[in-house]
Amino acid sequence: MDTPDHILVVDDDRQLLDLVARYLADSGLRVSPARDAVQARAVMASARIDLVVLDLMLPGEDGLSLCRWLRSRADVHVPILMLTARAEETDRVVGLEMGADDYLAKPFATRELLARIRAVLRRTRMLPPNLQPVHQARALRFGDWTLDTTARHLLDAQGTLVSLTGGEFRLLRVLLDHPQRVLHRDQLLNLTQGRDTEAFDRSIDLLISRLRQRLRDDPREPRYIKTVRNEGYVLCAEVVAA
């Protein structure tokens, strides 16, 4: 018999937390509730979690800070579904930039929450099993560059800091995690944005172009990121933990 997926739900609204926990449990999931970041960290330290449902607004340490902590951990990459009561688009964008895989605005239907949880888990697991990170370190060095995976910035050979957007950082991290492997566009979309590819979706191509500019990589004679015709992209540089 398959082990049920273990979902950590973090929300300070006790009534909502109880409602969601009961509904997800009745739907065949294992649920651990937490009302703040302290309880959430304790659950993460004691159990394997398959997905985190994380409220943006928490007492004390907020959801964005907890999301950042989860993404800084080299030993685990757990999918995150962010909950927000805020209407501003900026808050949702910040959550996604921090590394959340999806978001859902309050109020929401529990049926939609369950559907989104299953969709995120399905997307996460559709990747081939051999696409596991080669390196898990705070700093990764390749060619003349070093990526600080915690501070999320890039350093050139002279130590000059090059700022990266959230999307550029996630794409570079994925490429560094899988050097010398051809990654298809749908795989890159899934690994960087947590969504399936769509017809004529060229967002990855645009992001690759921007990342090449950051790396001062000539697309006609690339040193770092090569295009594999009709397949995808490959990071051709050797990557070492710094």
Predicted TM-score (pTM) of the model is 0.60
Residues of the chain with CATH 3.40.50.2300: 6-125
> How does DSSP assign 190-225, residue by residue?
HHHHSS---TT--HHHHHHHHHHHHTT--TTS-SSE
In 3D space, the residue among 136, 213, 144 whose CA is nearest the CA of residue 173 turns out to be 136
Confidence (pLDDT) at 128: 53
pLDDT at 196 over 50: no
pLDDT at 198 over 50: no
Greater confidence, 126 or 19? 19
Residues of the chain with CATH 1.10.10.10: 139-241
Confidence (pLDDT) at 105: 86
CB 178 within 8 A of CB 235: yes
Q: Any bridge partners for residue 103, and if so which?
A: 82
pLDDT digits (tens, 9 = 90+) for 149-192: 877 789 999 999 988 877 788 889 889 988 888 888 877 877 77
pLDDT digits (tens, 9 = 90+) for 116-147: 999 888 876 765 545 544 455 678 999 999 99
CATH no. for 139-241: 1.10.10.10
- Taking each continuous run of H as one helix and of E as one strand, the counts in the chain are 8, 13
CATH no. for 6-125: 3.40.50.2300
